[in-house]
Structure 1
Amino acid sequence: MTDTRKTALIVGASRTLGLGLAAEYLRRGWDVIGTVRGNRRTGLHDLAEASEGRLTVESLEMTEPEQISALGDRLAQRTLDLLFVNAAITRGDIPIGEVPTDMFTEVMVTNALSPMRVVESLRPLVAPTGTIGVMSSDQGSIALNTEGGQDLYRASKSALNQLMRSYAARYAEGKRTLLLMDPGWVRTELGGPDADLSVEESVPGVAETIESRRGVPGLHFLDHQGHDVPW
């Protein structure tokens, strides 16, 4: 087990991959802060009750900038070894020319802009040699897009990747590890029932890959097996 004093903040931890990551880091001996939207009861609350105080649940609607700032204020006395943003939506496989403007805006704000707002706002909480990661996807890879489909989702993840790369360039002198993580094709609401991996199969690899790059500065785009993903 790793040092029990290490702390991870998992943004978007109410279910599936986020919830799985919260559970995995608890298993590894970390303290965990997990966020959920609103005040509804989730699996994260159940996990917190069984955690003997090692998991704290915070409320965050990350598309609301004032809520991100408020979370930063509440956590101002904490030092994070890992800040990981896990949040994304899809609105179906619609050709881009048929996507309504409000749908385009919703997906881009949720999948690209809001995660970066979290990263920018909460970065002061992360230890100087800590890790900042966001959940991306191989569907955000331009090089791997040889079949098309899922135009809007792909575009939102490519935008996230580009924004994270700009962030990395802005703080190029820093010593933090920066990660874009592809969890694989996972059986979630996003991945669908025919996906290759269960959450339980994906999450340990994601966590192990994150840990394997701890202390290695710069930006890395990796899959759940630790392999580089083409941009």
Structure 2
Amino acid sequence: MRRRALIVGASRGLGLGLVARFLARGWDVTATVRRPSQALADLSMDAPLRIEAGVDIDDDGAVADLRTRLAEVPDFDLVFVVAGIATQAGTPASLLSREVVGAVFQTNAVSPIRFAEAFHRRVAPGGLIVLMTSKLGSVSLNRGGGWSSYRASKAALNTLARSFAGQHKGADWGVVLMHPGWVRTDLGGRRATLDVETSARGMVGVLEAHLGQRGCVYLDHAGEKVPW
């Protein structure tokens, strides 16, 4: 039986790379985007890919509509929330407007957990809920202090994910907080050490090996544990 993945935030970058890699590994994939993506549409020409547009994880109504549209689709072996932002990340949080900081926390921390709560009953036994985080969210590794609002939002996501896993103790699925590495995307920049394909290949391999495991773990694209 083919495995099934739901990739949330797949129009470009790591989301698009993950869709391509899961398809290459023989998975059936459902991918969400806020706006149509030609790059994603191109992947669907010769692959079992379903695209759901108009999905903004900050919009509870859009998430509820997605759940309704997917009601007849078999449960997913993996739900991966990729979407995130880094608005004015180089400016210290104390100097940003409250609106900007609030938006970063909503998209990076609160909305992924709300999505997980909305879809956890659609995860097949032995499956995974995966949330894209960052090593920058590690409190113990924070020595430089840069990207403070982004760091804090990912640290908040990590904490909320552990709470979510604890609240669903006994569930027959696991939670993975995934650090993709420093990747050459719009967020990571051109100086980053990894390309999208390398990061996606690593993440998919780690997640396939982790299927069937429960609890909440914080891993990187090579399968190494990241310090909390």
TM-score between both structures, scaled by the size of structure 2: 0.96
The equivalent of 2:46 in structure 1 is: 50
Check whether the contact 1:17–1:199 (CA below 8 A) recurs between aligned residues. yes
CA-based RMSD of the aligned residues comes to 1.0
The 2-side partners of 1:32 and 1:8 are apart by 5
**Given residue 74 of structure 1, which amino acid in structure 2 is its aligned partner?**
R
The equivalent of 1:101 in structure 2 is: 98
**Given residue 73 of structure 1, which amino acid in structure 2 is its aligned partner?**
T
* Structure 1 residue runs without a partner (length 5+): none
Q: How far apart are 1:74 and its partner, in Å?
A: 0.8
**Residues 204 and 6 of structure 1: is their aligned pair in 2 closer, same or farther, counting only changes over 3 Å?**
same
Match of 1:82 among 70, 74, 78: 78
Provide Cα deviations, 1:72-127, integer angstroms capped at 9, x if missing partner: 01111221011000011112311121010110111111111111111000111111
Is the aligned partner of 1:69 residue 2:64? yes
**Given residue 89 of structure 1, which amino acid in structure 2 is its aligned partner?**
I
The equivalent of 1:15 in structure 2 is: 12
The 1-side partners of 2:46 and 2:157 are apart by 34
Q: How far apart are 1:66 and its partner, in Å?
A: 0.5
Map residues 180-199 of structure 1 onto 2, 5 A cutoff. Answer: 180-199=177-196
Match of 2:130 among 124, 130, 133: 133
Q: How far apart are 1:201 and its partner, in Å?
A: 1.3
Q: Report the 3-state secondary structure (helix = DSSP H, G, I; strand = E; otherwise coil) of the residue aligned with 2:203.
A: helix
Q: Report the 3-state secondary structure (helix = DSSP H, G, I; strand = E; otherwise coil) of the residue aligned with 2:212.
A: coil
The equivalent of 2:166 in structure 1 is: 169
The equivalent of 2:111 in structure 1 is: 114
Check whether the contact 1:175–1:218 (CA below 8 A) recurs between aligned residues. no
TM-score between both structures, scaled by the size of structure 1: 0.95
The 2-side partners of 1:99 and 1:122 are apart by 33
Map residues 210-229 of structure 1 onto 2, 5 A cutoff. Answer: 210-229=207-226
Number of equivalences: 225
Q: How far apart are 1:128 and its partner, in Å?
A: 2.5
Check whether the contact 1:8–1:84 (CA below 8 A) recurs between aligned residues. yes
Q: How far apart are 1:165 and its partner, in Å?
A: 0.5
The 1-side partners of 2:11 and 2:214 are apart by 29
Moved runs in structure 1, 4+ residues, more than 3 A? none
Provide Cα deviations, 1:5-40, integer angstroms capped at 9, x if missing partner: 2110000011110001001110011100000103x3
